Structure 1
Amino acid sequence: MSAKKVSIYTLNQLLHHGKQPAAGGLERYMRDIAVLMREMGYDVNFVQNGTHRWKRDYMGFTVYGVPMLEGNVSDIEAMDRVSHDRVLYGWVGQQETYKDTEGIVINHGIWWDDANYDLERLPWIIPNIVNGLDHCKVMVTVDTAFLNWCRSTIGNRIRGKLRYIPNYVDLNMFRPEEKTKETDFVTVLYPRRISPVRGIELAKRLSVRLLGKYAHVKFKFAVDHNHPQLWNEFVEWADAHPYRDRLDIGNYYFDDIPNAYREADIVLLPTIQSEGTSFSCLESMGCGKAIVTTAVGGMTDLILDGFNGRLVMPEEESLFEALCELIEDGELRRTFGHHAYMTAKAFSKERWEAQWAKWIAAVYG
């Protein structure tokens, strides 16, 4: 019997030109969904946004790039023309129409929770979510912030379709390990994209303040290279840093990011908006690190302030105070790190795969 065919719609599994993989949590998530489905016997391909029409191989999966409409909007009709009949929709915000009205659609967190969000677009949000619920078999949310928003805003339109499956960490890959070389320095790590919503500007300012206050602190940025212009601008900023000798910057992808966590003492995740159950947070927890993050989106599903990390408001002063506390208290760092690791066990990749496998089989047969 031939394998059942399913297309996965996503924004960018590969960068829009199709020449290299995109680095980010969403891309990792969709990759692992595809791998799981292949292991379950499905014939899976990706359909995504592109600068032009292209076809590539990625980890044994065919990926189709479809040119975007004006305003970098996904051309769903064109995507439908190259996809299989059965579709798994990678993000509800990408969709306006649904070819497969009996499929799964995913939401990765509230993305309109910023004070500067264009208010004219807010009336579009509720119809978009309702449209997704009306045209799917199951909608998966990765955090409870979105789940509770739906309950309070949409109410009975959910009709039992919404399911909470938080993100995950591979504890075989992300685990507590000794530093390769012990020093007297305390290293603060920012392992996120060069993106305003991920708090890159906050992290840059905090690096100057922390390195200026503490001579025994180092600061490391483990960031993406998705957008060369942003990377070049970031390098220029780093080269002009007043404490450049204690600042480290580098590009990391899926397989080598554990090396960055290993050398860190504190992980800073100063996200401002649009956050699910963050992979960076889960990976830091798996590695047993002391975490400072913000009470945004799905971060509140992962960090209990004072138990397995510091959860503060997305403000520079609050983050600075929390970082200073952990820099000055090694015992507290170790306590938070141990509790973070124990918490991470509840978010194992094996558990995530089991939850997803149940719904994939139920929906796609």
Structure 2
Amino acid sequence: MIFIAFIADSFIVDGDVFSGGAEQHMYELIKQAQEEGAKVRVYQPAADNASYMVNGIEIQNIQCHRKAIWKKGSEQAKRDGCSHIHYNYLHFAIPSKTQVVTATDHGVWWDIPFIGKYSKWYPLNKLASIYLPIWRKKSKWQTMRRIKNCQAIIAGDSTLMRIVQSDLTEYRTRIHVSGNFCNLKQEVDSATMNVQNQQIEQAKRDNRLIILVPRNLSLVRGGAWLADLVRRVSSLTNGNCLFVVTGRFIFQTGREQVYQSAFQEQMKDIEDQLIVLGGTPHKKMQGLYQSSDIVLIPTYAAEGGSLSAIEGATYGKPVVATNVGGLNDVVVNGVTGLVTEASVDGMAEAIVRLYKDEREREEMGNNGKVYSKRYSLERWKKEIRPFTLKAGWIERHSTE
């Protein structure tokens, strides 16, 4: 039997699959591998070495730091007799002489610019202007090396393929591009419609627009400039918008507390314009999407085929997104939403345009519902079949 080790720095949190797009993508990939007849075990960092089952998936905790899981997880997978190893992030894929190595690419991740105004959000603050250009070159080089370690790579957007076509042409057949998917039902579930948040409910009674930001908060997810954006939009709409952030301050290079401190300092005078829900479970997102008027993806850098952007369109909401990474693949500018330059002014202009034009909001939302059908989970399962075949996840006799 084919035995696949899935290695991730985050997967099961508080007994359930973490609501991030990378974790949701990996969950469906695992389910597909199981449907193909493979045995699967997930290796993730934790405070213990417990083994347990979640939703029919075997989980193996490894007591280690998140940065160490890639090496320790692969070592344990080898000891456990896994024939295949799949890394949830391409740039951590380790070569193996005895196992088939595959990986997921969630988008270019080294495209982080330096903007002095937000220097507090960077490691070493203003020194980032010096080390970032060097780090970007090194990170791209590392990713190109990791591609050589893999037999097959599944990419959620076309960015990596374009780079490989240019820089590493002989390896382009290893890249399988399959757009992301939405696994939330398009139909309204009355049980999840009540978002049970007094500030949101009051804002709707006051006819304020609800701008949903289905993001965890970090530099790359737009946390740095979100407060400035809220101020700018508030001044242009007389405070008639409420921004609702569903995520939390994420652990990234040990900077969770730094992000939270910087963000709270920035939003001192806009508490009535922005609320942070602090980690909404994915299964409870339906009500928030339905209650919103606009879905905002304020990405700063490192973006793939955003699951949140697809979900926003699925629920008939116009999506405002920056023109970063895979967002150009999933938001059709002027049709399902507005793709703007990656700046506060660009996003503010797009939001105010939709704020003023209810008819355009409705038209884009309706277009999004139609367009999002191409991102159905059923379509995705069919499209990844060539990847699972190339990855060797399917027994030969099952394809004959």
TM-score per shorter chain, which class? 0.7 to 0.9
Question: Residue 249 in 1 paired to residue 276 in 2?
Answer: yes
Name the aligned partner's letter for residue 164 of structure 2: C
Aligned residue number for residue 134 of structure 1: 148
1:157–1:195: structure 2 CA closer, same or farther, 3 Å change rule?
Answer: same
2:53 to 52, 57, 76: 57
Name the aligned partner's letter for residue 46 of structure 1: V
TM-score relative to the length of structure 1 = 0.86
* Aligned positions of 1:70-219 closer than 5 A: 72-77=67-72, 79-82=74-77, 83=80, 84-98=82-96, 102-116=100-114, 118-158=132-172, 160-170=173-183, 172-173=185-186, 183=205, 184-213=207-236, 214-219=238-243
Whether the 8 Å CA contact 1:188–1:220 is kept in 2: the answer is: yes
* Aligned positions of 1:257-336 closer than 5 A: 257-336=285-364
For 1:113, what is the secondary structure of its paired residue? Answer: coil
Aligned-partner Cα distance in 2 for 1:248–1:261: 15
Alpha-carbon deviations, 1:229-257, whole Å to 9, x = none? 5796589569x643534543313111001
Name the aligned partner's letter for residue 85 of structure 1: S
2:21 to 11, 16, 25: 25
Name the aligned partner's letter for residue 222 of structure 1: T
Aligned-partner Cα distance in 1 for 2:146–2:98: 11
Aligned-partner Cα distance in 2 for 1:243–1:120: 37
1:325–1:118: structure 2 CA closer, same or farther, 3 Å change rule?
Answer: same
CA-CA distance at 1:186 after TM superposition: 1.3
Aligned residue number for residue 62 of structure 2: 66
Aligned-partner Cα distance in 1 for 2:273–2:134: 44
Whether the 8 Å CA contact 2:16–2:54 is kept in 1: the answer is: no
Question: Residue 356 in 1 paired to residue 384 in 2?
Answer: yes
Name the aligned partner's letter for residue 192 of structure 1: R
Name the aligned partner's letter for residue 240 of structure 2: H
1:276–1:329: structure 2 CA closer, same or farther, 3 Å change rule?
Answer: same
Aligned-partner Cα distance in 2 for 1:234–1:38: 43
Name the aligned partner's letter for residue 333 of structure 1: R
Structure 2: runs of 5+ lacking an equivalent: 115-130, 195-200, 396-400
Question: Residue 222 in 1 paired to residue 246 in 2?
Answer: yes
CA-CA distance at 1:151 after TM superposition: 0.9
2:365 to 337, 351, 355: 337
Aligned-partner Cα distance in 2 for 1:122–1:324: 34
Q: Which structure has greater helix proportion? A: 2
For 2:6, what is the secondary structure of its paired residue? Answer: strand
TM-score relative to the length of structure 2 = 0.79
> How many corresponding residue pairs?
358
- Identical-residue share of aligned pairs (%): 19
CA-CA distance at 1:72 after TM superposition: 2.8
Whether the 8 Å CA contact 1:101–1:136 is kept in 2: the answer is: no
1:39–1:267: structure 2 CA closer, same or farther, 3 Å change rule?
Answer: same
CA-CA distance at 1:361 after TM superposition: 4.3
Aligned-partner Cα distance in 2 for 1:197–1:256: 24
Alpha-carbon deviations, 1:186-229, whole Å to 9, x = none? 11111100111010232222223333442432221111375585
1:226–1:195: structure 2 CA closer, same or farther, 3 Å change rule?
Answer: closer
Aligned residue number for residue 41 of structure 1: 37
Alpha-carbon deviations, 1:136-167, whole Å to 9, x = none? 32121111111101111112233x22111111
> C-alpha root-mean-square deviation of aligned residues, in Å?
3.1
Aligned-partner Cα distance in 1 for 2:345–2:260: 28
CA-CA distance at 1:324 after TM superposition: 0.8
CA-CA distance at 1:339 after TM superposition: 1.4
